[in-house]
A and B are shown apart, each in its own frame.
Chain A
């Protein structure tokens, strides 16, 4: 069965510092992996996704993530945090077998300090 673990329900970084949000997955078959962002009082929007084409994936707003099969990880990074990055971030997985079921992590709330 698939599962997603996000380490750290709350992460604080200073403006301009590196952002690192962790995501580990468990899947019996090759997965598809996603990062979504949720701004206050809004729905989720896609940041980036891994679909097996390339292990380093670039997304919107300067975010990127690297798929590491040996570590079963898909951590999200951004070199320099901006105040507008404050939001909740969700990692999600879907099996490549095409079941169309999605499993989301519990989320990480990012706080950016001035």
Chain B
């Protein structure tokens, strides 16, 4: 089944404890992206990647890191999480053959709480 998977789905952690949220897709998509969803703010793009070893900042990259060492994986790293990073996080992927018009496929989300 074609899908984007995220792990963990739920995570409660404490301020300053490094964490990684994994994202994997099995559709051979070149493009991958991370978003955070907050009430009243909609989705905001954190980082995106157009191919292996190619990443770029979205609108809210502060406090986050990403890497793209393999085409299928795009982990989101919070090196020193803070309470304002409590949010619902989504990973998405798409082909790039059609440019920015290609449909993004979203993962199920990771609900992160930072105490």
Chain A interfacial positions (CB closer than 8 Å to B):
6, 9, 32, 36, 41-46, 49, 51, 90, 92, 94-96, 98-107
What residues of B have a CB within 8 angstroms of the CB of A36 in the complex?
106
Considering the complex, which residues of chain B in the window 74-106 have a beta carbon less than 8 Å from any beta carbon of chain A? 90, 92, 96, 98-101, 103-106
Whether B42 and A44, one on each chain, are in contact in the complex, defined by CB atoms closer than 8 angstroms, is no
CB contact between A104 and one of B40, B43, B103 (< 8 Å): that residue: B43
Cα A77 to Cα B12 with chains together (Å): 39
- Please report the total number of B residues contacting A with Cβ < 8 Å: 29
Whether B100 and A104, one on each chain, are in contact in the complex, defined by CB atoms closer than 8 angstroms, is no
Whether A46 and B40, one on each chain, are in contact in the complex, defined by CB atoms closer than 8 angstroms, is no
Nearest to A105 among chain B residues (CB) is B42
CB of A4 to closest CB in B, whole Å:
8
Given contacts A36-B106, A103-B45, 13 further A-B contacts (CB under 8 A): A9-B40, A32-B100, A41-B109, A42-B109, A44-B90, A44-B92, A94-B100, A96-B99, A98-B100, A100-B56, A106-B40, A106-B41, A107-B42
Whether A106 and B100, one on each chain, are in contact in the complex, defined by CB atoms closer than 8 angstroms, is no
